[in-house]
Structure 1
């Protein structure tokens, strides 16, 4: 007799939900990495521009050029603030996806354990039935040989 778990579709569903949560978590980590790389790039650009402004002020330079560089630095600083907010949101999204994955993993494990317990019970009952059948056969043989 083969084991058939009547709630196997639920176990499969929980496995699918866990896989989906894994994909979502991986995607959120990828987005976080991209946001952090963009922030690092903007920070490098700001440092380079500040260095260039510093060097430019040591030489004779027009006021317009210095103002243009300062405006660009201001724009970079604004973008960095905005990008930090993007990084913060991406970190929060990654944390949420991680919690969701942990919940889905626990949920799947609960259903897998329930299925395993049902299978163990099935195997025990099958063994008990087999033993009862063997015992009954032994009793029948003993009774048949006692009649002879």
Structure 2
């Protein structure tokens, strides 16, 4: 059940998607790279931009703007690919900009309100209050596998 998703104090990589601040726990991030040539692959989900070759390793790349049904924009020097690992496979997430790496205290973390999960259940683990900003802590599994997560929920 989604209540098993835990929020904990620690370092988070904070990035923007369409001026919205989001974050992943630093242990979920393998590395952050500049956007490079992406080879399109026909017949895959529209939010998967294609594949990149990173030091001889083929990595699928998900465009987070498209993943969350936002309008895409041309890449700029600020765009980055955040590489995460799932089941021993690296996957890239295209973000508008990596803003900072910051330590978030436990008292600054709040669970997700039910109203924020109506569009896509489990999209966020919760929210963090840092300075005057509100940062959505993404549920990495839901970002990577939105269809699979729904199927798992029905089997519980």
Q: State the TM-score, normalized to the length of structure 1.
A: 0.19
More strand by share: 2
- Rg: which structure is higher? 1
More helix by share: 1
Q: State the TM-score, normalized to the length of structure 2.
A: 0.19
Structure with the larger RCO, 1 or 2 (CA within 8 Å, 6+ apart):
1
